[in-house]
Amino acid sequence: MPNRSSDTLFQLIKSLEKSEKRNFKLYMKRNSGSEELKSVQLFDALDKMEEYDEAQLLKKNKNLLKQQLSNAKAYLYREILNSLRLIRNDENIDIQLHEQLDFARILYNKGLYLQSLKTLDKIKENARAHNQVTFLLQVLFFEKTIESLHITRSMQDRADQLATEVDEVNDKLKSISQLSNLSLELYSWYIRNGVARNEKDEVAVQEFFERNLPTDVNGCEGFYEKLYLYQSYSWYAYIRQDFLNYYRYTQKWVDLFEKEPFMLAIETSQYIKGMHNLLGAHFDLLNDQKFRETIKQFEDFSESDIVRNNVNNRIQTFVYLYISKLNQHFIDGTFTEGLGLVPYIEDKLKEYWIYLDRHRILVFYYKIGCLYFGSGDYEQTIVYLNRIINLKMDLRTDLQCYSRLLHLIAHYELGNFSLLEYLTKSVYRFMAKMENLSLVEEEIFKFLRKSFNVTPDRLRPEFEKLVEKLKKYEKNRFETRAFVYLDIISWLESKIQNVPVQDVIREKYLSGKRRG
């Protein structure tokens, strides 16, 4: 991947669309002062750069001294945001409410208290209609300030009503805060550790979940309370590898937007993430028909104005849609066909590199590596898995472990036996250190160590023995992760039948043996 600059101003300029750049220049030309002219020149210089280079920037802008650069960049950054705010104020309910709150403050400062209160009433109505609870609290505190300092005679019993409204909003905010904290911490646990690996992990997650779940969740009525409640149950179920409940709660998550479709424009990222998790649930359960219906729904959504007119929505939709498209080929057993997606994905990863978190990139690398493995290209499998193995980070230890295991098997397929003994010991130590060894993995390592001394004509019976052993673990909940990350049984069956692994998986798909 290219070494993209981390300069914030450079990133902001590179994120602008043509219409936004044009609008910025029109915005700056409202005044013809020297400061504005210098800012436009600095903007143009940065816009022309492929990579941020401060020395080159100063060389091409002789009127800009090095000691002035920091202030000039800060001023330009602020002005770009101001220009964006002017053209984006009708797209986001947060910006609309902030603007209305600014108007109420202006009216108050002019001494027009009753007009200010009327504006605040409209804000409350708008905020309630769009589930914006935090704005309600700001408005109520402003109302309390006005009523406590001025005799407005706006209505009788105003103090009691305001106090009641504040208490109701505080209760709602407390519930939202507790549930959103629980959801975030469960997701963080998963990002750090992956799924529960044993009973110890499961007990720890269960105790944390039960300790932090509010006691009155059955009374959750608001959009955000339900959203974070369903998210919490989704992460809890997924970590425990309870895929049926994972599906149930991700479906509830998505259904929230079906019931309140106006929230799609307000919480687009939450809908996109919900669709991603729903597709993941169908994939884990091998619900082929439901998977296809949902991916079609998601693909249609990706063409909507909500996505096309927002950079962040486009990026997130690309990530989750193409992870699902790769998963479709895993379900179907069409690995070689799926390789046709790789060039496009690689181009998009380069284009979006500065925006994507490393976790998403790791997932793409692993899935592309699996795609090459399934198609029989073990050298390219190793190339993509090395990108994960060589990236020093503490995210997704499960992904790190299975990358190493698949990397080891790819070398086995290539016949790199001189490396295998060292790699086997290295991977075993790594996984044991991570406390990541399951019974399935123990059996795989035993087989690999034993196979070094087995002649080719004796390998098939050994493969058959290993398949029989592993099939006993397929229904064991703590062992399912091995089969989710790596369809080891299909690989072994391919060795027994002496056919490509994708042929085995394709045959299972066509015969219905892998579908839920």
Residues 382 and 507 in one domain: yes
In terms of pLDDT, which residue wins out, 288 or 89? Answer: 288
What is the pLDDT at residue 225?
Answer: 94
In a domain, 150, yes or no: yes
CB 117 within 8 A of CB 150: no
Is 137 inside any structural domain?
A: yes
d(CA 268, CA 259): 15
Residue 41 domain-assigned? yes
Whole-number Å distance between alpha carbons of 190 and 132: 29
**Which of 156-160, 370-374, 452-456, 464-468 has maximum average pLDDT?**
370-374
> For residue 185, which phi and psi values (nearest 5 degrees)?
-70, -35
Q: Is the pLDDT of residue 339 over 90?
A: yes
| CB contact burial 58-74 (16+ within 10 A = b; e otherwise) | eeebeebeeeeeeebbe
For residue 163, tell me if it sits in a domain. no
Residue 110 within any structural domain of the chain:
yes
Within a domain: 131: yes
Residue 119 confidence class, pLDDT cut points 50, 70, 90: very high
> Residue 126 falls within a domain, yes or no?
yes
Residues 415 and 488 in one domain: yes
Mean pLDDT lowest for which of 110-114, 313-317, 342-346?
A: 110-114
Contacts (Cβ under 8 Å, ≥6 apart) of 461: none
Residues 389 and 458 in one domain: yes
pLDDT digits (tens, 9 = 90+) for 457-476: 677 888 888 888 888 887 77
Do 142 and 81 lie in one domain? The reply is: no
CA neighbor of 373 nearest in space, from 416, 426, 330, 415: 330
- The confidence band for 492, taking pLDDT boundaries of 50, 70 and 90, is confident
Q: Tell whether the model's pLDDT for residue 303 goes beyond 50.
A: yes
Amino acid occupying residue 434 = M
Q: In whole angstroms, what is the distance from residue 149 CA to residue 147 CA?
A: 6
Whether 242 and 284 have beta carbons less than 8 Å apart is answered as no
Task: Specify whether 53 is located in the same domain as 109.
Answer: no
In tens, the pLDDT along 194-225 reads 788 788 888 999 999 999 998 888 778 889 99
Q: Are residues 104 and 146 in the same domain?
A: yes
- Whole-angstrom CA distances from 472 to 61, 436, 466 are 71, 19, 10
At residue 480, the pLDDT reads 74
Residues 122 and 24 in one domain: no
* pLDDT score, position 2: 42
Residues 28 and 133 in one domain: no
User: Last residue of a domain, which of 105, 123, 155?
Assistant: 155
Half-sphere exposure of 337 (CA within 13 A, CB side): 12
Q: Which of 49, 73, 88 is the last residue of a domain?
A: 88
User: Given 69, 88, 107, which residue is the final one in a domain?
Assistant: 88
Q: Which residues, other chains included, contact 28 with Cβ-Cβ below 8 Å and sequence gap of 6+?
A: 36, 39, 40, 79, 83
How many structural domains are present in the chain?
A: 3
Q: Residues 74, 113: one domain?
A: no
Range of the structural domain that residue 423 is part of:
377-516
What is the pLDDT at residue 513?
A: 56
Residues 126 and 67 reside in one and the same domain: no
Percent of the chain at pLDDT exceeding 70: 92
Residues 393 and 506 in one domain: yes
Average pLDDT, the chain: 86
User: Helix, strand, or coil here: 357?
Assistant: coil
Residues 44 and 151 occupy one common structural domain: no
Q: Is residue 174 part of a domain?
A: no
